[in-house]
Amino acid sequence: MIGICPNCKINLKDPPFSNRERNEILIVMIYRRKIDNNEAIRSMDEIGYCEICGAKKEELEDQKDNNK
């Protein structure tokens, strides 16, 4: 499987998890729906979370810090 969110690139199997979606099938379905319908995917900087998996910007930064 993909193992990462196609939008924000957070690793789906690594913490922090909080309330973000980790089911890869659902993430792909959400992403494909947006792409197929030519819907714009807003950036994490703009809205503070990933529109595809629901990860918060802080979670992505924490994961990057923990993987160093």
The pLDDT, as a whole number, for residue 17 is: 83
Q: What does the alpha-carbon distance between residue 15 and residue 37 come to, in Å, rounded to a whole number? A: 31
What is the overall mean pLDDT for the chain? Answer: 90
Q: What does the alpha-carbon distance between residue 35 and residue 12 come to, in Å, rounded to a whole number? A: 20
The pLDDT, as a whole number, for residue 1 is: 59
| Spans of all domains in the chain | 1-68
The pLDDT, as a whole number, for residue 5 is: 92
The number of beta carbons lying within 10 Å of the beta carbon of residue 67 is 8
Q: What is the pLDDT of residues 11-67, one digit of tens each?
A: 998 888 888 888 999 999 999 999 999 999 999 989 999 999 999 999 988 988 887
Q: Is the link from the previous residue into 6 a cis peptide, with omega within 30 of 0?
A: no
Q: Is the link from the previous residue into 15 a cis peptide, with omega within 30 of 0?
A: no
